[in-house]
Each structure stands twice: as C-alpha cells, then as structure tokens.
Structure 1
Amino acid sequence: MTRPWLDHYEEGVPRGWTPSNDVLPDLLRRTAEAFPGRAALGFLGATTTYRELWQDVGHFAAALQRIGVRPGERVSIMLPNCPQFVVAFYGALLAGATVVNTSPLYVASELEHQLRDSGSETLILLDAFYPRYSAVAGRVPVQRVIVTGIQDALPFPKSVLYPLKARREGHWVNVRAGGSVYAFRNLLRSPSTTPRPVTLRPDDVALLQYTGGTTGVPKGAMLTHGNLVANAEQARAWMTDLRPGQEVTLAAIPFFHVYGMTVAMNLSVLIGATIALVPNARDIKMVLSQIVASGATLFPGVPTLYNAINNHPDTRDFDLTTIRACISGSAPLPLETARQFRQTTGGANLVEGYGLTEASPITHVNPIYGEQREGSIGLPLPGVDALVVGEDGQPVPEGEVGELWVSGPNVMKGYWNRPDETAKVLREAHGQTWLLTGDMAVMDEAGYFRIVDRKKDLIIAGGYNIYPREVEEVLYAHPAVLEAAAVGVPDPYRGESVHAALALKPGMKATEAEIIAHCRLHLSPYKVPRSVEFRAELPKTAVGKILRRQLAEEARAARQVQAAG
C-alpha cells in the first residue's frame, strides 16, 4: 500500500518505526531509575517523586498479592485523577492483574453491569462512591474492596481540613475497614516493596476499557501491554521536542478514559514528566490555577475543555503562556475553538488528533510544528496504516468518502468475551488486521485525513447525505454559540431534517431565526437546520464529549409528543 503521509512527517518523526518489547511497569521502573528525584505527581500541594511513586507501586502490588489477587484477575479502579489512581493502576499491573477502568460517574446499575461483565473480583474506589457499590454488592463477583479518600493524598493540614469540609457539605462517607474491605493507605504500608515476580508479556491483556464501540453495546476492549506501550511511544515519537525529565503535563482529562490514561499518564511516565493532577475538570477555575501553579507545558484535552477556558470570565487573569503543545482528542475540534485557544494562550500549539478506544486510542494527529491542515485529523502516527474503504471493502480514490480502517501495534486484541462483536470490527484484508472504525473519512493527496462524520450519525434528508460536523462548524462560527450539536429528526416529507441543539456563551442572546439565517449564509439549503433548541448546557460524557445520540433521542421524543398533541 502507498503511504503518502510519510512525506509530510515533520523533521524528527521517524518514517520507519517499530514498538519496543516493554510492558507498562517497565516504563515507570525505568523512569524512576533515570529521574528518581523528579516530581512525578503534583496534587493540590502534595508532591510525589518518581522514586517514591515506584516504591508505592511496589508496596501496593505486594499487598494485592497478599490479600489474594492472582495474575490475570480483573481489578476495577473507580477513582478520579489523584495519586491513588496512578499507584493502583501500575500496582495492579505489577501484581499481574488486568485493570478495568471504571467511571466514577456510573450509577449503581452501570457499575453492576461492568463488574459482572468483566468478572472483577477486586474493586478500588473512592469512599464517596461506596454507597453505589453497596447497592449492588450482593449481585457482583467482587470479593474484596479497597477504599481511599481524597484526604489520603493531601498534605497537612489539608488532610485534616478536607474531611471537615466534606462533613459540612454533606459529602462525607465513612467506610470502615474490616473483613473484605481494606483501607488503601494501610495497604501502602505493606512490609514488602517487592511483589512476587510475575512474567508479563506484551501480548498480555493489561486493560479492559469499556466502550460503546462502533455498535453501541457496552463492551470491554482488550488492550494489551504492547498496545498501550506502543501508543505512548508513538505519541512520544510524534512530539519531536519533548524534553525527558523536564515537562509538566496538566492531567485534567480523566485517567479512567483511555485518552487521558495514554496521553496524560502513560506518556508522561514514559518521558519523566511531572503529572499535575486535576480531580475535577469541570471546575475551570481550578484548571486555570493548576496550569499556573504547575507551569504546565503539555495540556492534552478535549474540545469542550478548551472551549470552556476560552469563554471563562476569569481566563484573562491567568498566565497560560507556559503551555507549549496540546493535542485535542475524543471529539472533533471546531476550528473557532482552536483559533481562540491559540490566542488565549499566546500561541500554544493546539492540534486535532483522532483515535478510538479500540486503538489505545490515538491513530492520527496533525503535526505539532509541521503543516497543520485545518479541519483534518492529520496524518497516521508512525506504525499506523490507514485506508478509506468503500462498501465493497476496497480502497476508494483520494478525495472520496468511505469508512476509515486503521491497522497497527496499538489496535486491540478484541472485545472481552464477545467474539461475535470482535468479528464485526476486526478484519483480515490486504495482508493486515484492520480495525473498522465506523467513521466516514476522506484522504487527500498528501495523506491528511478528514473525518466527515460517524457512519451512524449520518443524516439523510431527501436523499442527501448530511454530516453533522459540517453543520456544527458553521454553528460554532456564530459569535453567540458556546456549544453545538446537529442531529437528525424525523421529517414526514424529507425523511429526516437537521435539528440544532445549542448552548450560548454567558451573557449572549440569539433566536432560532437568527441561527437559521446564519446557517443559510454558509450551508446548502438541505443542510440548514429546520429547528433550533437552546439549552443551558449540552449533555456530555465523563470526558466531555457531547452526547449527540442522547440529544437526537430527546429531540425525536419531543417531536412525537408534539405530533400526538
């Protein structure tokens, strides 16, 4: 196959690249040896060096083995971004277990499904989340629970003041250790920093990362040590000016999401960066203050986070000029958001990337310092191959729309206990194993890819294909629009029509007629929204991705009620 993108890699990005044979604990061990006194974690005034982090991981791994965790067993981690997450993640892997990332936002029924589906026998969670586990405890395979609190990671006197504040605000949950319930802080006092040796191989499953995938059914993507190490190494190869032992990564995107885990945590460990932990990215003032306090140089994020910073009333009071590079993932990056953010930070390189859970997750990124093509997801990373494929499974010509297929060492092993679902998205063709992304894309003559939209989000109006992203770009260009989503709703004449859901910037106003008139200036008539809905905020996932599907369902339900009335 031809790879035109190789000719457009910026200087320093390897054209020929192969992954190492490392497993994830190797990354931390090697960095602790190279930069023992370097701050690994910064958390609300507390600092942990790489030497201390590696020791904590050893203590925790040994303690897990002592309380019965066996190699290959699933260990669910339900924590926000805090030092305990990093210790639990690497500690569980060092003990030979498979980690199951579990969203702290899960309600009891969602938690029950994931614990049962993964067969998790160990659950590590924040004390505040314990009542949700209690509601399902008798119906899941969990045999041991490890509980920690934010106060466990805070320096004195914050460690004493935090419980008082939580009690005053009604957030305090007191969980007593005993029986099958263990205190995280006590396990860190394990007498041994050397767990029993476990043979880890690159092909061993390190992580079950649950996703709706390309078919919408929650299932665990089996990501191996080799997958996750390769993707961290690919990101390092792409960012040509990374300075080992000198960078500071603002970790605002959650580690329980694969993008935050790979770029904010694993890549940082790989290069010996200090990880400035932000437990709540919705608190934009906290995000801003942590950028300044930490001197963050790298800021991986999602479009809604950058957008919120652009439009926060206090942003101008913070010096954000230390930020050098930002890769935006998880959702399409509106052009206006990128332009504003570069202005806000005094020129930080914010580039759009692309990936999906099943690929660990990054497959494409715009060059950080080379040619960046607006509206594109950039070029495939070193070691990644990509095709745009038609319905017949054959590549389409440059410039034509088809489904994006990707291949590389970062592509998952399959879905946990779901061979039928695996067979739908992994395909042998052209001498390689390909992941069928479900996204519609175009490749230009230089090998830059552009996502037209998700196959399932396609709106078909009067026989015309409408890709929501194109409509959303126009909506975001309106000066009053803060957040936008375009979805399809039933139309008795056209089959479907475009419905726009918007949240406006603070203090701004707009009417439905004004928004539609704005769209008519920039879109073909069949693409113009026929209806506009204004909301205080659009619904999002835990990582900040706007939930188009939920908006579409709610809009369709509202139409049905109107029709019935």
Structure 2
Amino acid sequence: MRAHYKFWPKRLPPAITPPATSLWQNLAVSAMRYPDKAATVFFGSVLTWGQLKHAAERLAAQLQALGVQKGDRVVLNMQNCPQLIVAHFAILRVGAVVVPVNPMNRAEELKHFITDPDAKVAITTADLAGELAGASNALPEGQRLRHLIVTQFTDGFDSNVEGDDAPPAAWRDWLLTHHALPTLAGGQVLAWKDALAFDGPLAETTAGPADLAILPYTSGTTGLPKGCMHTHASVMHNAVACAMWGSATPETIGLVVVPMFHITGLVAVMQAAVYAGSTMIVMPRWDRDLAGRLISRWRVTAWANIPTMVIDLLASPNFASFDLSSLKTISGGGAAMPQAVAQRLLDVYGLAYCEGYGLTETAAPSHQNPVDHPKQQCLGIPFMSTDARVVDPETLQEVPQGEQGEIVIHGPEVFQGYWKRPDATEAAFFELDGKRFFRSGDLGRVDEDGYFFITDRLKRMINASGYKVWPAEVEALMFRHPAIQEACVIATQDAYRGESVKAVVVLRPSHQGQVSEQDIIDWCRDNMAVYKVPRVVQFAGSLPKSGSGKVMWRALQEAEAAPRI
C-alpha cells in the first residue's frame, strides 16, 4: 500500500467514478435543481443557475447558426466575468472545444492561438477585441477568424452599483467604457446582447465523455505553446474530485479570483462549482481591498488563490475592517506559500492553507494536501484515482523514498496528448508497471508519509507569482526586435513574485549605443503578455556557448543565483 494513504481523508474514497456524461450536463443538472439560486455574483449583480443555462443555450444556438459544429475549436479570450462562464458552456453545449486564452497576450502572441487550433470563431471582451481582431487581420486570408462575438463588461453588471460591491475607482474606466466593435477583415463581429437575443433552434448535444472538450495551451522548453487535449472525461474527473476534496456543496460560496482562462481556475474552481451548484463571487482580477470586502459582504466560505494574493491581503492597511470568519477552506498552488504566512493563517484564523500541485496536462491537481492534515510548503499527496511516482529521469525507474527524481503521473485527469504534436506527445509519456505515465518535468521527492515535495525543475521555466514563463517563448518574441542579435532569458529572484524575468541581450553592432535597456523593456511590454516581460535587461558583449554553439543558459542562471560579494 502506498504511504500516502496513511493520511488519506477518512471521509473520501481513494478513487471515484465520475459521471459518464458531458460537462454540459453538470450545468443542466444544477440549473434543474437550483433554478433560482445564485450561480454568480459580479459587482452585486446576480445570475441564477436558470438564467446562466438559458444564456448559454441562446449563445449556443447562435454559434450553431454561425456554423460551429461538434469538434470545432472556439477561442475564449476574457478576464473573469459571468460572460466567460456562459460562453464556456455554450461552446460545450454545441459539442465544440473551448480554447481558453490568457487575456494578457498581445496580437503577435494571439496569432498562434488562432492558427494552431484552426479557430474560425472567437469570443472576447470589448477591451481585448481590438487586439484579437488585429491578430486575425494580420494573418493570411485562409487562416483568419470568420466571426468574433464581443461583450462589454457592463453586460454582466449594473454600472451604477455602489458600496462594498462596487469596482475599485481605478477600474472604472476599464470596466465601464463602452468600446466600439472592431473591424474583422473578411469576417463578422457580433455584439454579445445581439448574440444572446438569437431565438433560432438549438440541436441536441451529442458530446460524450471521450470527446475533446478543452484545448488549453502550455509552453515548454522549445518553440511555441502546445495545446493540451482534454476530454470531457479528464476534466469531469477533476471537477468532481475537487468538489469532493473541498467539501463543496450548494451552500458553498467561493471567491473566484484565480483566472478562469488558467487550468486551475477553469477546472478546480469554475467546473467544480458548476458540478456542486455552489455560488461564485466573481472578481475580474486581483484587488486586495475588493477581495476583503467581498469575503466579508457575501460570507465567502472557500477561497482558492495563489500565495501572493494572501500576502497582499494581509498587508492591506484596511485589513482590520475585513471579516474573514466565514472562510472554511483556503487553498492554492502555483507558487510556494511562505511558511510564516501559512503559520499566521493557522494561528490567527484557524485556517490551514492547503497547497496543491498540478499542470495544464493534468487538468489542475494531480496532488493535493489533505484539508485535515496538510504539510506546509508541500505539494500534497497523489489525488483521487491518481498514481504518482518519482523516477530517475534517465532510466525512468522508480527511485527509493526520499531520493530526488522526476515526478510522473498516471490517472484519469491526465490529458490525451499535445494537439498536432505526436512527437511531443510521445516524448511526454512512458510505460511503468503496465501504466502510461506523464513526465511532469519537475524534480521532487517523497517523504515517509507519501507527501511529495518539489526540489528543482528538469525543464527550463520561471515561476513569477504562479504564472509560468517559458524562456524559449520570450526569447523567440524578443528576437523580433531589430536591435537584438541574441537573447537569453533567465530567472532573477524577486521578494514579492518569487521569481521575475531577466534577459541577457547582445545588441547588433548597427544598434550599439542607440538602444537602452529600458527601450527593450518598453518594446517587450508592447509585444507580449505583461507577466512575460523582462523586469531586468542586461546588455552583454556575447553569450556563453557550448562546443556545439548552444547558448549555455544554465551558466547564466547559476551566475545570477550566486551570492553577491
């Protein structure tokens, strides 16, 4: 028997049998059971489960009328708002595939999320529509979007809201400005309200557990981001398991501030809440005082987050005015929670911070700390129905307890493979004891109780406040700058974010003395998502190279990590 069963939650089975239905059925069931209960609350505006289902069906009918068929990929590019949930389930209702995209991506990055999944339809918010339309318009005619559905944030709430539910003053221009619809070359742009007013027919859904449901993208050590093929079944497993693990019920009130374009927010928060019929208090992005007010106002019971949010909330000068007494569970991942902060939560509020671990490829958690027996700065134990091991990265044989190796995962939540990338899929999997294991690329160890701890990264990756930054992707974008001859991206320590991005740059001789470090940073801000932008740029005469001519990034990384004398 595996050691981790020693502290397995007594209320939970070690494996589960999820519903053998599509994810759409979870919404249909919750709407049937709780038609008048709040599904979402957005700046004080309530959308009931019945209203959410009706809106998703109207949008699904509109998508069908636009030609979206079963298996087609539809881009969904939004910050958190009720419209994201409506659109997500409308896409699933027609049997199509959701392609969730980080709204921080700029036009140059967005091109890949249109062309790689062969998407012809996208749904976005008005503040992002120009960037998405610009990306499409810059593509060759046969690769462009044909339809773009655009919602204003105010389609989801009353702009006159006041009091604790009101948006921060700094957000008002962002949220309340009514943006004109962009022009889509060779295509049609449709306003959200018009799409939801569509009264045409809606065919029965035929999607089943084995059909593709979600195609989230993950970057890696080389090249452009890769799509992770998740079926209704792989997402369903973790939606159900996350709800059970967190004791979610229809009475649970969750603060939804982790982004729902990211696999954790999408599965462990949103899909789990839809399955359980819980209420979601939705925040479009992080603001510590708004979070404190909403937890107090709506008596939030469950909060999934990244550790920097907790640190920020505790540091608010208004913290004493917030009432956190309703919180029953607080959990997160993506970055390590500082031990002192976790201890303060436990000592002052009786809240055990439960960290988890997972990847886009595992539909969020593959490991989770038991709520009743968590360990600090620990990934947790293998999740329901999951077999996780630590193996030698060279021999792929399991290593003894306590020794470092690569964390590998087998379970129903593991993805089917990388979209259009059979080579990468083959490299990511291997067989052990008759099971197909996914190679995480993370190095870790297992303690005597079966808890996993991360020790290093086999892959080259920077973790900035829980956002994964892949240097190869940033370098590829930087090489588009006319002044850059070579660039190597590494991690630099950051007291708040944990790690930040640093670029060591060699300028072309023709641009020496004409471009500053700040010029490079400013250009990066215009051409890539803000979390990928180098916080530090260092000019160098040359980069260290191996005998084969490869840039020795590890040498630069080790020099950066070396103590300053």
Residue 32 of structure 1 aligns with which residue?
Answer: 31
Displacement of 1:84 after TM fit?
A: 0.5
Displacement of 1:323 after TM fit?
A: 1.2
- Does 2:334 match 1:320? no
SS in 2 for 1:456: coil
Contact 1:99–1:208 at 8 Å: present in 2 too?
A: yes
- Does 2:234 match 1:227? yes
Residue 262 of structure 1 aligns with which residue?
Answer: 267
Residue 199 of structure 2 aligns with which residue?
Answer: 191
Q: 1:32 to 1:170 in 2, by over 3 A?
A: closer
CA distance in 1, matches of 2:77, 2:262: 11
The one-letter code matched in structure 1 to 2:245 is W
Residue 54 of structure 2 aligns with which residue?
Answer: 55
Unaligned runs of 5+ in 2: 472-489, 498-523, 545-555, 560-565
Residue 415 of structure 1 aligns with which residue?
Answer: 418
Q: Deviations over 1:243-282 (max 9, x none)?
A: x21011100011000101112211111111100000121x
Q: 1:445 to 1:215 in 2, by over 3 A?
A: farther
Residue 107 of structure 1 aligns with which residue?
Answer: 106
- Does 2:207 match 1:208? no
Q: Deviations over 1:31-77 (max 9, x none)?
A: 11122221001000110111111111111111110121111111101
Contact 2:369–2:381 at 8 Å: present in 1 too?
A: yes
Residue 480 of structure 1 aligns with which residue?
Answer: none
Among residues 283, 287, 291, which one is paired with 1:278 in the alignment? 283
The one-letter code matched in structure 2 to 1:155 is D
Displacement of 1:6 after TM fit?
A: 2.1
CA distance in 1, matches of 2:410, 2:29: 29
Contact 1:14–1:237 at 8 Å: present in 2 too?
A: no
Q: 1:404 to 1:136 in 2, by over 3 A?
A: same
Q: 1:388 to 1:314 in 2, by over 3 A?
A: same
Deviates more, 1:442-451 or 1:286-295: 286-295
Displacement of 1:217 after TM fit?
A: 4.0
CA distance in 2, matches of 1:423, 1:402: 20
- Does 2:381 match 1:382? no
What is the 5 A alignment of 1:27-106? 27-106=26-105
Residue 287 of structure 1 aligns with which residue?
Answer: 291
Contact 2:230–2:416 at 8 Å: present in 1 too?
A: yes
Residue 508 of structure 2 aligns with which residue?
Answer: none
SS in 2 for 1:375: coil
The one-letter code matched in structure 1 to 2:282 is L
The one-letter code matched in structure 1 to 2:395 is D
Displacement of 1:322 after TM fit?
A: 1.1
Contact 1:402–1:440 at 8 Å: present in 2 too?
A: yes
- Does 2:180 match 1:174? yes
Displacement of 1:235 after TM fit?
A: 1.3
Deviates more, 1:149-158 or 1:380-389: 149-158
CA distance in 1, matches of 2:358, 2:101: 20
Q: 1:142 to 1:560 in 2, by over 3 A?
A: same
The one-letter code matched in structure 1 to 2:217 is Y
The one-letter code matched in structure 2 to 1:336 is A
Displacement of 1:386 after TM fit?
A: 0.5
Q: 1:214 to 1:14 in 2, by over 3 A?
A: farther
Q: Deviations over 1:206-235 (max 9, x none)?
A: 111011146574111111111111011111
Contact 1:5–1:448 at 8 Å: present in 2 too?
A: yes
What is the 5 A alignment of 1:377-456? 377-390=379-392, 391-456=394-459
Q: 1:442 to 1:185 in 2, by over 3 A?
A: same
Contact 2:20–2:209 at 8 Å: present in 1 too?
A: yes
Q: 1:57 to 1:177 in 2, by over 3 A?
A: farther
Instruction: Give the share of equivalent positions with the same residue, in percent.
Output: 30
The one-letter code matched in structure 2 to 1:263 is A
Contact 1:330–1:545 at 8 Å: present in 2 too?
A: no
Residue 365 of structure 1 aligns with which residue?
Answer: 368
The one-letter code matched in structure 2 to 1:376 is C
- Does 2:305 match 1:305? no
Displacement of 1:324 after TM fit?
A: 1.0
Q: 1:434 to 1:272 in 2, by over 3 A?
A: same
User: TM-score with structure 1 length normalisation?
Assistant: 0.78
Contact 1:69–1:97 at 8 Å: present in 2 too?
A: yes
Q: 1:559 to 1:247 in 2, by over 3 A?
A: farther
SS in 2 for 1:438: strand
Displacement of 1:400 after TM fit?
A: 0.4
SS in 2 for 1:453: strand
Displacement of 1:499 after TM fit?
A: 8.5
Displacement of 1:19 after TM fit?
A: 2.9
Unaligned runs of 5+ in 1: 459-467, 477-484, 488-497, 506-538
- Does 2:117 match 1:118? yes
Q: 1:16 to 1:107 in 2, by over 3 A?
A: closer
Root-mean-square deviation (CA, aligned residues, Å) is 3.4
Residue 521 of structure 2 aligns with which residue?
Answer: none
Displacement of 1:166 after TM fit?
A: 6.3
The one-letter code matched in structure 1 to 2:333 is G
Deviates more, 1:165-174 or 1:54-63: 165-174
